[in-house]
Amino acid sequence: MNGVFVKKEINDGIRVFVNSTDKFKTITVKVFVHQSLREETVTKTALIPFVLKRGCEFMPTSQEITTYLENLYGAGFDVDIIKKGERQIIEFDMDVVNDKFLPPNTEGLLEKGLQALKEIMMNPLLENGGFNKTYFEQEKDVLLRNIKDLFNNKRAYAVERCFQEMCRDERFSLYKYGKEEDLEDLDPVKLYDYYDEMLKHNPIDVFVMGDVDVEKVFETAEKMFKYPRGNIKAIPPTLVDKKVEKEKTVIEKQKVNQGKLSLGLRTYTVYGDDDYYPLLVCNGILGGGVHSKLFQNVREKASLAYYVFSRIEKLKGVMVIASGIEFKDYDKTLDITKKQISDLKNGVISDYEMSATKKMIISSLKEVADNPMATINLYLDGVIAGKIEEIDDMIKNIEKVTKQEVVEAANKLKLDTVYFLTQE
């Protein structure tokens, strides 16, 4: 059973996935609380994990949490918000050293780690029926800074804005950390009531990866994650098949030193579709590395871009091409970029582009296989898409992709939005 996730549902919509492998000295645990990405809940969902991380009934301060984890031979713990398709997911991460690598009579580290995780998640520090007010206010300020930080990171900002314009009336347009204007209306009691509802009704996935006894982990998880649950919400599917009526151009002006050009395309292909792997190779040939068409033609030959790349959002069916350019080179860069897409559609693909791309994707999949956190994230994509695959099978699927299949995937691409961030 080495290297395969085994699944069990333990408590109304809580699924536990365990991968028993002796490849790692640590045991990695990730818990995901799923929520639909929605305008009315996006900001409060984003705030929750950071307030929870500050303290719980059992360990009321960050310092006490840190001390507890240090006593577990330096166990690691973190939280975040992730966005996958049109889902917003609260993520809790923990890793503990395997008992087998510790002095004799040291045992139960995983149970103690899971216990800490359960306390932080399910027994938060409350006052007057809501979250601790001090932690709530402080983390609200931190979230506000996170939202504003996007504006200062122009490279990420231009990609996010391109997706916002392209998916203007779709849930995908929402930023994973929410909106500044929503922070005013939040209060500790409403936020806790909302979180309590999530724990009762939202799907929760628990992943454990390491050298563990699968049945014992199921048993422990069943004891730990007890919470009154029922009427588990179905997360609505992500909108994928949006038609492109006509290509949009959006010009935004700010005080910037460099132009940021982003092209948003619809791929009409998501993970789980038969042509997903051809699309992955297609994206790699277009802008996935130094061998790619965009890098070679836009950056190297024409010397137009400081950086240029393409990437796909595999659970949404969209692609972005992003580049940093001089303001005056907008037209030229756009023309050459469009030509690379057109060449792909017309089958102008060299054997070298095919083999270098496959090698690059396979190498990145092997890197993921060596990292339990990354493996779990990749597996979560499959759980969401309803397509469970092992990494070895993904590699085989990449190796099988033909040039003709890449051309067919390329011909589904539709340019939707051109976004340019330029000087005032």
Tens of pLDDT, residue by residue over 353-384, are 999 999 999 999 999 999 999 999 999 999 99
**CATH code of the domain covering residue 314:** 3.30.830.10
Q: Are 268 and 193 contained in the same domain?
A: no
The phi-psi region of residue 13 (left if phi > 0; otherwise alpha if psi is between -120 and 50; otherwise beta) is left
Burial class (CB in 10 A: 0-12, 13-18, 19+), 171: buried
3-state helix, strand, coil in the chain (%, to 5): 45, 25, 30
- Ordered DSSP codes for 331-378: HHHHHHHHHHHHHHHTT---HHHHHHHHHHHHHHHHHHHT-HHHHHHH
In a domain, 318, yes or no: yes
Tens of pLDDT, residue by residue over 48-61, are 999 999 999 999 99
**C-alpha span between 378 and 390 (Å, rounded):** 10
**C-alpha span between 362 and 369 (Å, rounded):** 11
Q: How far is CA 296 from CA 96, 115, 311, 353, 372, in A?
A: 44, 52, 16, 11, 34
Q: Are 216 and 252 contained in the same domain?
A: no
Q: Are 291 and 382 contained in the same domain?
A: yes
In a domain, 230, yes or no: no
Q: Are 260 and 212 contained in the same domain?
A: no
Q: Are 66 and 160 contained in the same domain?
A: yes
The phi-psi region of residue 347 (left if phi > 0; otherwise alpha if psi is between -120 and 50; otherwise beta) is left
Residue 44 has pLDDT above 80, yes or no: yes
In a domain, 220, yes or no: yes
In a domain, 410, yes or no: yes
Q: Are 273 and 205 contained in the same domain?
A: no
In a domain, 138, yes or no: yes
In a domain, 64, yes or no: yes
Instruction: Please tell me the total count of domains within the chain.
Output: 2
Tens of pLDDT, residue by residue over 395-419, are 999 999 999 999 999 999 999 999 9
Tens of pLDDT, residue by residue over 63-122, are 999 999 999 999 999 999 999 999 999 999 999 999 888 877 777 899 999 999 999 999
Q: How far is CA 328 from CA 13, 363, 374, in A?
A: 54, 37, 40
Q: Are 321 and 408 contained in the same domain?
A: yes
In a domain, 234, yes or no: no
Q: Are 323 and 370 contained in the same domain?
A: yes
In a domain, 419, yes or no: yes
Q: Are 259 and 402 contained in the same domain?
A: yes
Q: Are 86 and 187 contained in the same domain?
A: yes
Please say which residue of 170, 189, 224 terminates a domain.
224
Say which amino acid occupies 72. Answer: L
What is the number of residues in the chain?
424
Question: By residue range, what is the domain housing residue 28?
Answer: 5-224
Q: What is the pTM of this model?
A: 0.95
